[in-house]
Amino acid sequence: MKIRVSWLVLGVSLAVVAACSSQKEEAPVQEQLTLHEVMKDEVDVHADDLWDISNPALSDNAHLDAALMDDERWAQVEQKATALQQAALKLASLDPIVVVKPGVKIADEGVPYGDTGAEVQANVDKDPQKLRDFANALAVHAGDIASAAQRRDTERAGLLIGQLDAVCEDCHLEYWYPSQKVLLEEYGISR
């Protein structure tokens, strides 16, 4: 009798272990990134890095100077442009697009012509697809910079890096700080 009970206990124990191990382990819930986080921590960082790498290689006429671009600098431009491209694609894939977490302030909030996170969220909610289109356009632009760097095309890379700010500002003026359109108009700057 003792042997039967032991086999029975062993059998039940194995069945319990098998049942427990067959259950799916739940993946930890990953908190969704916000538009503000991706912009601040990735897009801005990579764009600034691109300018920091390329600005010292500008000639007197503000063109990228091939003589000032060595292999290391080209590799850095390609790497940062690729990182910017990936960050832009991350922006484009946010669903839903949440601008900020509660209690977080965005840059320029509370200053003249500055928009609040709630105002930016309202702008995004009006046309989230257009924001995704802007993000995808940034991704294409950054990918073009990476390709030009890979080919060591000084003229093309310099032109694209020079245009990067305008690509960013198109989206910023539409979504991030549209109140500043008035300021641009006051200075006679049209977009």
In tens, the pLDDT along 95-113 reads 999 999 999 999 888 888 8
Residue 21 clears pLDDT 70, i.e. is over it: no
**For residue 114, what pLDDT band results from cuts at 50, 70 and 90?**
confident
Residue 40 clears pLDDT 70, i.e. is over it: yes
**For residue 182, what pLDDT band results from cuts at 50, 70 and 90?**
confident
Residue 90 clears pLDDT 90, i.e. is over it: yes
Write out the DSSP string of the chain: -HHHHHHHHHHHHHHHHHHHHHSPPPPPPPPPPPHHHHIIIIIHHHHHHHHHHHGGGB-TTSSBPGGG--HHHHHHHHHHHHHHHHHHHHHHH-SS-----TTPPPTTTTSTTPPPHHHHHHHHHH-HHHHHHHHHHHHHHHHHHHHHHHTT-HHHHHHHHHHHHHHHHHHIIIII-TTHHHHHHHTT---
Mean pLDDT of 151-166: 96
What's residue 1's pLDDT? 47
What is this structure's pTM? 0.81
Domains of the chain: 32-186 (1.20.120.10)
